Each structure stands twice: as structure tokens, then as C-alpha cells.
Amino acid sequence: MNEVDFRRLQQILSKPQKIVITTHRNPDGDAYGSSLGLYWFLKKCGHEVKVLSPNDCPEFLKWLPGESEINLFEPEPVKGKEILSEAEIVFTLDFNAFHRLGELMGGAMHTIDPVFVMIDHHQQPDDFAAFQFVDATMSSTSEMVYQFIEGLGHVEFIDQDIASCLYTGILTDTGSFRFPATTSHTHRVVADLLERGADNSEIYNRIHNVNTYNRMQLLGRALDNMVVLDRFHTAYITLSQNELNRYNFQRGDTEGFVNYALSLKNVMFAAIFIEDKKQKIIKISFRSVGDFSVNEFSRNHFNGGGHINAAGGRSELSLKDTVKKFVEILPSLKNELTLS
């Protein structure tokens, strides 16, 4: 967003507005962290604010300040539509295309006409927002919300709740400050969030030290299912619906599994294929190290996208046929799937 647009938005926000903050389906730490951080901030500025998410978050995010106030679209679509239609401004956080909201809420977004403000760090945004605050080099949307607040000249509004929300988003999207998008700027923002009350150790514990026995067993199954294709420096994992059921799968349980495949020596491309019988799809996560763009790969072959090194996708084929399709694409990418 250029300076002129930013000042125009600042002008709009200088009067109390009816604002709805939306984020993507299957919200992660950055989706909820950025949304709730912005929620508390905009409330402090005197706006009437609601957060609307397509569906619920994993258990390990339930402690986030304000989580219980979030409205869920899918369980109550009539109420969700009402909330959307009353909004003067709709913020879209951590996604850049309506289909990321799922069919129900995505469809509803096409029927409203508020001022859309996008804050997001994914590549190739759709063109629906009057104000686009987009930077694919940013570690997380939460880091961008911090910048947004800073741009408005109100960092002093960041209290412990806002700091905890934004810290959570940065922590989860950077893989605890490991991923390449983690910059000195990220650390400066984080340093300020700590000074404003975010408790790094407690937040880490709440997010990561909540493993269940079932989840550990499911991880064991996933690792057992892992296949390594040495020729293509690629590894993938599958989990069928039956396997998920056996270990009483809960939302969020497979978070991070794909990284085990990527952590193998000489592997630069990793995928996990997870069967979802209810939605009749295979949900896929892709990860890479180096220049190989999983964003492009997923866009080209699996109806998805994301970032260069982390993307999601989906397939409507069976689990077996999805894997077959994946394996058959690899030879055409042999030159890109070489270690430098």
C-alpha cells in the first residue's frame, strides 16, 4: 500500500466504524493471532469490531485472549451473513482469495460490498480489496499487523493481550523463528512485543507442550508411512481417514508432520497427503527448502498455493490416485529438484 492510500485508510479509521475481521478456514496461529491482535487494537480505537472465522481453531489456540468471542460462520451461516452484511469495513487477514474461506463463507463474501482491507503475506493476491497491505517477504500476517499499528502511530496501544496474540502468530508462522522469512525486523517486532507483556516461554508451552498420546501415536503412523524418493530429493507422507480415526484425530493434530519429511538429509521437497472423507478431498501440505517453489507447484497441479517454501493444496482424486499423480509429475521437474 502506498503512503497516500495508507493515509486515506487512516482517515477512514479516524471515525468509529462497524468492522468485521475475517480469516481463512482451518485457522492457524497466525490467522487467529493476527485477527485477535487487530481486534483488540481496533476496539481500543473506538470501533465496533467482530471477528468472523469460517470454522473453529485447534485446541492449542483456545487460550488466546478473545478467542471465545470469535463468531464462526459454518455452524451459524445465517448469523454469519448478517454480521458480514452489516460491516462497513471488512479486514481480510492471512488469506488473499475468497475460496480460502471455504464454499459457504467464501460465497457470502461475494454478496457484500464493504470497504475491504487486506493484510496478508501470501503471493499473488486476488483483486478485491480497496486497500491492500500485502508483503510476501513478511514472516507472518501478525508481523504485518504490528507494522500496520505502527504506521497508524499507535504502538503504545499494544498491551499484553495484543502482544500475546501477535507473538503467537509470529511464533507459529516462523516455526519458532527458524524459517527463512524470519528477519531482523521480525526479531525487533518480537523484542517490542516481549517488552509489552508477551510471555514467550508460557506461549511456547501453551502451543507446543500440549501433545496427546493419540497425536504421538498418529505421528508414529505418519512416519511409518513416509516414502523417500531419493532420485527427486523428495519425501512424502500419507494418512488415510481410517488411520486418523484410529488415533481419534483432532483438528490441528497433523500440524508440523510434513516438516519431519523435509528434515531428512538430502530432501528438498516434502508433502503430506491427508484424506478427508467428510469433505471428499485429500488435503495436501507442501514444503521445500531453497528455490523450488511449492507455491507454483501447488498452483499448477493441486488447486492451491501459499509461499515459495510452504503451500497447501487439495485433490478430489482418491488418496492412492493423488499420490500417483504426485509421483508422476516429479520426473518433469528433475532439473529443479537437484541439490545445489
**Residue 166 to residue 26: CA distance in whole angstroms:** 18
Question: Taking CB under 6 A as the rule, does residue 285 contact ligand 5GP?
Answer: yes
* Least Cβ distance, residue 166 to Mn ion (angstroms): 12
Least Cβ distance, residue 119 to ligand 5GP (angstroms): 13
- The entry of ligand 5GP, Mn ion, none that residue 233 binds, CB within 5 to 8 Å by partner kind: none
- Binding piece for ligand 5GP, criterion CB under 6 A, among 76-84, 107-115, 182-190, 310-318: 310-318
Choosing from 129, 311, 319, 323, the residue that interacts with ligand 5GP (CB under 6 A) is 311
How many CA within 13 A on the CB side of residue 35? 34
Residue with C-alpha cell 528477519?
Answer: 183
User: 58 vs 312, which CB is nearer to ligand 5GP?
Assistant: 312
**Min. distance of Cβ 131 from ligand 5GP in angstroms?**
20
By CB under 6 A, name the one of 29, 80, 114, 306 that touches ligand 5GP. 306
Report the residue number whose CB is nearest to ligand 5GP: 312
Of 129 and 310, nearer to ligand 5GP (C-beta) is 310
The nearer residue to ligand 5GP, 285 or 288, going by C-beta atoms, is 285
- The pairing of strands 89-93 and 71-72 is unpaired
Closest CA to 228 of 269, 273, 274: 269
> How many residues touch ligand 5GP (CB under 6 A)?
11
Q: Using CB under 6 A, pick the residue from 268, 274, 310, 337 that binds ligand 5GP.
A: 310
- Cβ-based nearer residue to ligand 5GP, 9 or 179: 179
Which residue, 89 or 262, is less far from ligand 5GP as judged by CB?
262
Closer residue to ligand 5GP (CB): 141 or 240: 141
Alpha helical stretches, state H, the chain? 3-12, 29-44, 77-86, 102-109, 141-151, 160-173, 184-195, 200-208, 213-224, 241-246, 257-262, 294-301, 319-329
Quick one: 158 or 244, whose CB is closer to ligand 5GP?
244
Residue 311 · residue 272 · CB < 8 Å:
no
Name which of residues 98 to 137 contact ligand 5GP (CB under 6 A): 100, 122
- Are 158 and 196 in contact by the 8 Å Cβ rule? The answer is yes
Q: In whole angstroms, what is the distance from residue 253 CA to residue 214 CA?
A: 9
| Site residues (vs Mn ion, CB under 5 A) | 30, 94, 140-141, 173
Q: How far apart are CA 262 and CA 311, in angstroms?
A: 13
- Report in angstroms the alpha-carbon separations of 275 from 133, 211, 254: 34, 22, 12
The only residue of 33, 37, 114, 305 in contact with ligand 5GP, by rule CB under 6 A: 305
- As a whole number of angstroms, the distance between CA 65 and CA 79 comes to 23
Residue appearing with cell numbers 467482530: 50
* Whole-number Cα distances in Å, 98 to 104, 118, 161: 10, 11, 28
Applying CB under 6 A, which of residues 33, 58, 252, 304 lies at the interface with ligand 5GP?
Answer: 304
**Between residues 251 and 325, which has the closer beta carbon with respect to Mn ion?**
251
**How far, CA to CA in Å, does 249 sit from each of 1, 148, 212, 276, 277?**
41, 37, 10, 11, 13
Name the site residues for ligand 5GP (rule: CB under 6 A).
100, 122, 285, 304-307, 310-313
